[in-house]
């Protein structure tokens, strides 16, 4: 990857990593599925009234909206509400890297070099520490739901690669339309109209600023840059950059939320960083 694109990938990792702190703060005032609904509602409106629909099949917009909106963020927000700590969630969800690379190799016949396989094994060893050590804020249900959220992210990555070159911002805005119905359905089913109305009425200015950051910073800027990189390079070269997300996520959660940082979290972060460095030592061919 060009140095400029490596810098963009690192910027996305920083945005996504520190975003786990903001998610946790938003969940203090808004129930998870309603929080996610608001995020994708404002990702869609008013942009779809300004930007023309990208010339891709409706099913691709629907698939991306479902996998990223409901599959990734709806489930992640639910898990983070009571079942997993923010820093640890930022680490667990990076299993999407391995799922994405595996599916890209099977479906798109992308080559995974031996050096990249070794790098992924090093990173995986860091993630496996979670299976041995957990903290009081994490449950087995939280881990499993976060892994499902990682699968949703991986599927969204593959949809983007299948779509080809499009106006990324327009694609994100129009696909967000398809995230709203399943998220709203789950909000009404699990959280109920009364709780939705009450939380919305009493939400502070800070809560609404968190919703705005979810829309602009995390979705439009973060995913806009990320999807651009996925168009330029093989998935095996781009997705490992997401392994920097938990490094930023755990650091921000520890500094701002006081999340404990025992030795096993530090070792897991070190292994993930080592795997990323090893992966970057390999050569990836830029797509034209």
- Single out the residue of 78, 75, 73 nearest to residue 27, CA to CA: 78
Query: pLDDT at residue 126 above 90?
Result: no
Domain count, the chain: 1
Q: What is the pLDDT of residue 15?
A: 94
Cα–Cα distance, 263 to 165 (Å, whole number)? 44
Domain-located, residue 134: yes
Q: What is the pLDDT of residue 283?
A: 46
- Single out the residue of 120, 20, 36, 125 nearest to residue 73, CA to CA: 36
Q: What is the pLDDT of residue 282?
A: 54
59 class by beta-carbon count within 10 Å (0-12 exposed, 13-18 middle, 19+ buried): exposed
Q: What is the pLDDT of residue 136?
A: 66
Q: What is the pLDDT of residue 225?
A: 92
Query: What value does the mean pLDDT take over residues 173-177?
Result: 96
The backbone region for 259, taken as left when phi is positive above 0, alpha when psi lies in -120 to 50, beta otherwise, is beta
Query: pLDDT class for 208, splitting at 50, 70, 90?
Result: very high
Query: pLDDT class for 159, splitting at 50, 70, 90?
Result: very high
Q: What is the pLDDT of residue 285?
A: 45
Cα–Cα distance, 11 to 16 (Å, whole number)? 9
Domain-located, residue 118: yes
CA 242 to chain centre: 9
Q: What is the pLDDT of residue 99?
A: 83
Domain-located, residue 287: no
Query: What value does the mean pLDDT take over residues 68-81?
Result: 96
Domain-located, residue 98: yes
Query: pLDDT class for 287, splitting at 50, 70, 90?
Result: very low
Please tell me the least confidently modeled range out of 43-47, 81-85, 137-141: 137-141
Q: What is the pLDDT of residue 26?
A: 96
Q: What is the pLDDT of residue 63?
A: 97
Domain-located, residue 100: yes
Query: pLDDT at residue 37 above 70?
Result: yes
Domain-located, residue 275: yes
Domain-located, residue 286: no
Tokens of 25: 């703060």
Tokens of 80: 């983070």
Q: What is the pLDDT of residue 243?
A: 76
Q: Which domain holds residue 193?
A: 3-280
Q: How many angstroms separate the most distant Cα atoms in the chain?
A: 54
142 class by beta-carbon count within 10 Å (0-12 exposed, 13-18 middle, 19+ buried): buried
pTM: 0.85
Of residues 104 and 181, the one with the higher pLDDT is 181
Domain-located, residue 288: no
- Cis amide bond preceding 198, omega within 30: no
């Amino acid at each position: 990857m060009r140095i400029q694109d490596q810098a963009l990938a690192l910027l996305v990792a920083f945005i996504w990593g520190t975003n786990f702190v903001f998610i946790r703060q938003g969940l203090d005032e808004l129930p998870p599925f309603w929080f996610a609904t608001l995020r994708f509602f404002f990702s869609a409106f008013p942009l779809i009234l300004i930007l023309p629909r990208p010339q891709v099949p409706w099913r691709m917009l629907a698939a991306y909206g479902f996998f990223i909106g409901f599959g990734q963020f709806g489930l992640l927000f639910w898990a983070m509400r009571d079942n997993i700590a923010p820093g640890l969630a930022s680490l667990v969800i990076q299993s999407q890297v391995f799922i994405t690379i595996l599916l890209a190799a099977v479906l798109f016949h992308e080559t995974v070099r031996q050096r990249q396989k070794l790098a992924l094994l090093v990173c995986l060893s860091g993630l496996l520490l979670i299976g041995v050590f957990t903290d009081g804020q994490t449950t087995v249900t939280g881990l499993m739901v976060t892994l499902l959220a990682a699968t949703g992210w991986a599927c969204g990555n593959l949809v983007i690669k299948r779509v080809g070159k499009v106006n990324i911002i327009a694609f994100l805005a129009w696909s967000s339309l398809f995230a709203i119905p399943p998220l709203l359905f789950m909000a009404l089913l699990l959280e109920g109209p009364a709780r939705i109305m009450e939380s919305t009425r009493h939400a502070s200015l800070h809560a609404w600023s968190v919703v705005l950051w979810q829309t602009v910073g995390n979705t439009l800027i973060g995913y806009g840059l990320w999807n651009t990189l996925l168009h330029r390079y093989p998935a095996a070269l781009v997705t490992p950059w997401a392994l920097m997300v938990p490094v930023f996520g755990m650091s921000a959660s520890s500094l701002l939320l006081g999340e404990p940082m025992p030795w096993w979290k530090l070792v897991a972060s070190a292994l993930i960083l080592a795997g990323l460095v090893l992966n970057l030592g390999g050569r990836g061919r830029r797509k034209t």
